[in-house]
Structure 1
Amino acid sequence: MRFIIPGATILISIVYLFLTYNLPQAHVGDPDAAQKYPLLIGYALLVLSVLYLISELKNEEKVREAFRIFSDKELTIKVIVVLALCLVYTYMFEPLGFLISTIIFLGALLFLINGVKKWLLNIIIALVFSFATWYAFAELLQVSLP
């Protein structure tokens, strides 16, 4: 089970490298210029994936420790709720827009983590962070947000 991620990333890096070597050559300048940066990324991914696989082979107890976290039912439920909130956020992002959907999403997450007792802090953080992010991207950087 714990070898799925490193194995998948090794496979992805090999496919990526194969596709990179099949890129067309440039007609002007260095003919291999289009391949240099993608090859660097592909080989870096391959090396890091192999190192990750080796570390997984060496450290079996660490993997068992990581899965012990799911024995806590309350924490497992919170993780599932957070994943569900992320899914809902992606669906409400387009119709409601960035600002409203982010305020709702952050508010829900903060109420889940901090509880209802800190309701004022949760609302303030959700509003301030959402407005600050919107202002930074939409006004300062001139990036259009939905």
Structure 2
Amino acid sequence: MFRRRQILGVPALMAAAQRLRDRIEAGPHAGYTGISLTSKGVSVYWKGSAPSGIKALVRGEKTASLHSARYSRTELRKAEKEAMAYISAADGPVYGVRVPADGSGLIAQTSSPISTATVNRFRTRALDTSSVKIRMEVAPAPKPSWRQDD
């Protein structure tokens, strides 16, 4: 008899990611960075050495794997807050910041390409008390919506 290899779909991966997120975020874990879905499964990102309980939790989900992160979620959220405060006070090419799940740093969003010097100036001014790295991403700026747009 021919057997088909069962392939996990996106709903199963999302359920695994949600279970992990619920359990991890229920406790105070300083090294936790984030969780993302990939084509191969669920990736959990951690700064430093993950506690044994977290390692066991990730091993318990067959589709999950643990990866090293440069920054913790706490560090990234603090830097994001600083950057957004600067963006709202300054008139510049950056309109937003996002925090990637992999903990690699912040991603500043701009609607057109900008020079490396401008990126460096932005980082120096927006993150003056943080060591978090920042890179730029060109993406369309969000358009304000109005009730009359319905």
TM-score bracket, shorter-length normalisation: under 0.3
TM-score when normalising by structure 1: 0.25
More helix per residue: 1 or 2? 1
Look at both structures and tell me which one has the larger radius of gyration over its CA atoms.
Answer: 1
TM-score when normalising by structure 2: 0.25
